[in-house]
Structure 1
């Protein structure tokens, strides 16, 4: 699995307790928080923090070797050359994003248009 564009990095905003944090696929990215460069993923046994590796097209994850997970909370996304440039796509607090886990960490799944595969879990059982 590789990043979409080599000259752009993926930035994802998530929440932990009362703060929001940015994680990135950029090598060596430091966000200054104790969560590091990890995202919360929902597994059968509960939440787990996994290193964020980048993006993958959702058409590539049909293989049984990939374990699909929900990234929650997922509140922002952008592709950019750095954290400051570019506009964020914002999502509500109840949004979950599709991800897959491998031995390196979690990958965010993008649709054909390059947007995260998301759904709102406000009316679904947790």
Structure 2
């Protein structure tokens, strides 16, 4: 094998190792405050993130990139649309929250759970 081929293989292996898939299981609460009254619901939610250590990019499993505010050894904070995420990298705890207002109806989303490093799901 040539030196160039070995170098290319090493770069590919390093970039693959720098990308981690996190599977997250959380409890999600949705509160809808409308003129006719307030309702709430809760359910378990299962979703994933790709974390790229080299580029400091966080992507939801569906391919949507998040806007990263903080990315260090202790925490990752990021935003996707109206939802803000905080991941404690030391223990895998995840919290997220967001709110929207449309046509006089306020919708608030609050969630918390745990993320673990796993093999990426098959596409």
Q: TM-score, normalised by structure 2?
A: 0.28
Bigger radius of gyration: 2
The structure with the greater share of residues assigned to strand is 2
Q: TM-score, normalised by structure 1?
A: 0.27
